[in-house]
Structure formats: C-alpha cells, structure tokens
Amino acid sequence: MAISHRNLLLSIVILCNTVHAYSRGPVYRPPDVESLTDSFIRLTVSQSCNVFFGGVNVHVTSNGANAELSLDKSSGSGLSSKNKYYYGFFNAAMKMPSGFTSGVVVAYYLSNFDAFPHNHDEIDFELLGHEKRREWVLQTNMYGNGSVKTGREEKFYLWFDPTQGFHDYSILWNNHHIVFLVDNIPVREVIHSNAISPAYPSKPMSVYATIWDGSQWATRGGKYPVDYKYAPYVASMGGIQMEGCILNTKDIAPACSRSSPSSLDPVDGERFAKLSSQQTTGLEWARGKHMFYSYCQDKSRYKVMPPECNSK
C-alpha cells in the first residue's frame, strides 16, 4: 500500500511539472553560433549614455558600469547615447523586472525622431510584460522615412526567463541588412532589397534604452494594464556596445565608406554583409521554434501585403 501511495504521489508530481512546463511552452536548446558580442569592447553606462528622461528613476550603479531604469506611477525612465550613429552594431545586456508586469514595456532601440519628426527612422526591440504566469514577449519592429502607418512587428517567446539574469539584445544595422540578435542568436533579418528600400532606415540615429507604461496595447492588446501596486518595476542594464560610424555634427553627412561588401568599416565589411551558415541555422531555429507573429502573415491586418512580404 505504501508503494502504491508513493507511486501515486510521484505521478502527481510528474503531472504538475508537465502542466507547468506546458504553460510556459516547450524549452529548446539554442544552436551554437559565433559570438558577435566578442568582437567589440564593452562600455560603461557613464561612458556611453546620458539620461533621456525620468532622471529620478535612473540609478547608475557599479561605479558607472550599469544602470537601473525604474517605472512607477510618477514616471518611466530612459537613457540615450551620447553619439549619433550611421550604421553600427549596438548591444545592451538587460535583465527584466520580475513578477506581475502587465503593461510594462522595456525598449532598446535606435531612432532619429528628435532630428526628423516627420520622416524618422527607427529600429526597435520591445520587451512586453506579462499577466499571471505568461512569459515576456519580445517584439521587433522597424520604420524608415516616417513609414509608421505600416507596422512591421514580429513577436517571439524567449527560450529563457529574462528576469533571472542578464541577456544580450543586439542590433546590427548596415547597408546590407538589419539583424536583430538575442544572446547572439539572430531572430530576424531585414535584407536591404529594392522592395524594402523606401522604408529602410537611412539616416543617423541615437540609441535608447527605456522603461515605460504601455497599458493601452502592450499586454494582450491592452486587456491587462500596468498595476502600480507592484511598482516600482526595475529593468537593469549594462554591457553596452556601440560600434559604428559616429556622426560629426559639423559634417553634412557621415564620412563612412559604403563602396563595397569588403569595406574597411568595422560593421559594414564582408563578415557583416550576410549571415554565416551558423547564424542562418540560428535564425531558422529562432523563427521556427519561437516566433508566433509576423506582420507578413497577418492577412486580416493587411489586405494588400507590404511589398517586402511578397519578395520573401
């Protein structure tokens, strides 16, 4: 009888663990890829960034190396790069707030809205908070020349818990393509084709890291707003990398060579002109296992698909 009870208890434990695992979705081991983040030096927050907004909610730690960005009922907060860049590799190691985070948005992105309010460019990572036990959602997006009416969102579930440690979120932007990477795994590639060219980001941009209230849309279309009884929500970041062509404000245009795939520019050369076979495998893995939404598959949203969707 004792053995039967023990077996019954074991079965219940296994069932509970199975249900819990299913609620989070299957966990897949990512493929091995080359580490682009090993190619560039890491900067401190103090070296690379200024306070963008919400200064009282920005706390620089570790002798300037890291920062904590907080959202409370009074304000969100954010950092911006000290320089503007025309093409580059940009990375931040970030840790998301834990607990009930519906409506919370943590963003790492490039934008030039300040300089071009009517025709700005933007390349976005947005991490969207969750309700109950649902995971954070990773959303990527991009705009070029003010093409904000065409949302180019793609959404993913992550293969790790982003609240338990720091993970690298990287953007590679050059004349050949835009690549979004998470822990060096490419999750999205936007090739600079003729179809996407009118909406391809083409002007110098600053780099931003922010946390803010996205109650109107972030979690299940706005169904679950931010609940400030759980505030403050704190996102931690460090490990900054910004490598690219820095805009000299005295010049009319950035002095960057873009003449060939073998250009000497550190992020526009042959190694960065296209994905390696390892990176292509990683991209296919991320999109096949973890992507659950792409604008190019949303026929209810677009009766006529954006032209780049038809060229894929």
Of residues 87 and 6, the one with the higher pLDDT is: 87
Q: What is the DSSP letter of 199?
A: G
> Does some domain include residue 198?
yes
Stated pTM of the model: 0.88
> Does some domain include residue 6?
no
> Does some domain include residue 209?
yes
> Does some domain include residue 20?
no
Given 126, 154, 189, 243, which residue is catalytic?
126
Examine the residue annotation and report whether 122 is marked as an active-site residue of this protein.
yes
CA pair distance 127, 211, nearest whole angstrom = 9
Query: What is the extent of the structural domain holding 94?
Result: 25-310
> Does some domain include residue 7?
no
pLDDT for 97-148, tens place per residue? 999 999 999 999 999 999 999 999 999 999 999 986 668 999 999 999 998 8
pLDDT for 59-88, tens place per residue? 999 999 999 999 999 999 999 999 999 899
Q: What is the mean pLDDT of residues 5-30?
A: 50
Rounded to the nearest angstrom, the gap between the alpha carbon of residue 67 and the centroid of all alpha carbons in its chain is 17
> Does some domain include residue 150?
yes
Given 34, 68, 122, 189, which residue is catalytic?
122
CATH number at residue 183: 2.60.120.200
Radius of gyration of the chain (CA): 21
Number of separate domains in the chain = 1
Q: Judge whether 234 and 68 are in contact, CB under 8 Å.
A: yes
CA pair distance 192, 272, nearest whole angstrom = 13
